[in-house]
């Protein structure tokens, strides 16, 4: 926690992190910036997801889970372990305020991105097929365009990179996430989907469609 905080504080002078009225959160925001970026954009290199624009309810639930030991306790979950340490000592009020701060930041979404994670994804007809797969497998909970569904506690997917989404699906499938009785209900659902109902190729095609480094709105496809 101390190392992460110091890393974040070192970015304070050069990162445009702070909005009016966030002074009490500045140390926490600075610490988060060390991995998640000065604008909450995330870091694929560090394996840190984007936070900007994510649903505040989801962010708060994850932070509380890290702090309370419901997430991040598996020895193979290195990123989760880091977050568990970083969230120690956070109050409920700090978690809610920090989650609201990141939720209101502008999000970088998959709309308008040009890179394709898989060359086959740009073949005629593939985009439409992958969209149908995404909507059938993921869209009922996460929204038809990956916008999330607050009423179900389902996060936005359209702001997350493909590598992060693949890693989380692998974590659910292996039991690093969602297999413990004290985990949150949504994670248990995802564990069941990934471990029992998840065809890997189908899940990959859904991820390719919705990920922030995917190919939505490139003008390619059918």
CATH number of the domain within which 39 lies: 1.10.760.10
User: Does the pLDDT at position 15 exceed 70?
Assistant: no
pLDDT tens sequence across 161-183: 999 999 999 999 888 898 776 56
Q: What is the pLDDT of residue 63?
A: 97
pLDDT in tens, 111-153: 434 444 566 666 668 888 999 999 999 999 999 999 999 999 9
DSSP 8-state secondary structure symbol assigned to residue 98:
H
Supply the pLDDT for residue 219.
36
Is the pLDDT assigned to residue 5 strictly greater than 60?
A: no
Q: In angstroms, rounded to a whole number, what is the distance separating the alpha carbons of residues 136 and 142?
A: 11
Answer yes or no: is pLDDT of 220 > 90: no
According to DSSP, the residues that pair with 48 across neighbouring strands are 43
Asked if residue 135 and residue 51 are part of one domain, the reply reads no
Of 48, 73, 103, the one marking the end of a domain is 103
**pTM for this entry:** 0.81
165 within domain boundaries: yes
Number of independent structural domains in the chain: 2
Which domain range does residue 150 map to? Answer: 119-210
Contact (Cβ atoms closer than 8 angstroms) between residue 1 and residue 24:
no
Domain-embedded: residue 215? no
Instruction: Give the confidence band of 155 by pLDDT, cuts at 50, 70, 90.
Output: very high
């Amino acid at each position: 926690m101390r190392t992460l905080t110091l890393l974040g504080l070192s970015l304070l002078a050069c990162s445009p992190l702070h909005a009016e009225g966030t002074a009490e959160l500045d140390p926490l925001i600075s610490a988060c910036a060390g991995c998640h970026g000065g604008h909450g954009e995330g870091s694929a290199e560090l394996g840190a997801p984007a936070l900007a624009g994510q649903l505040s309810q989801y962010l708060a639930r994850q932070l509380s889970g890290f702090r309370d030991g419901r997430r991040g306790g598996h020895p193979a979950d290195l990123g989760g372990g880091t977050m568990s340490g970083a969230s120690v000592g956070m109050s409920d009020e700090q978690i809610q305020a920090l989650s609201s701060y990141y939720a209101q930041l502008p999000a970088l979404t998959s709309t308008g991105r040009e890179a394709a994670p898989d060359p086959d994804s740009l073949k005629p007809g593939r985009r439409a097929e992958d969209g149908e797969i995404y909507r059938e497998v993921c869209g009922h909970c996460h929204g038809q365009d990956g916008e999330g569904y607050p009423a179900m506690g389902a996060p936005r997917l359209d702001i997350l990179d493909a590598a992060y989404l693949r890693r989380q699906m692998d974590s659910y499938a292996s039991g690093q996430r969602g297999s413990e009785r004290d985990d949150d209900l949504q994670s248990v659902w995802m564990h069941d989907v990934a471990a029992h109902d998840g065809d890997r190729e189908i899940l990959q095609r859904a991820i390719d469609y919705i990920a922030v480094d995917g190919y939505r709105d490139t003008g390619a496809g059918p």
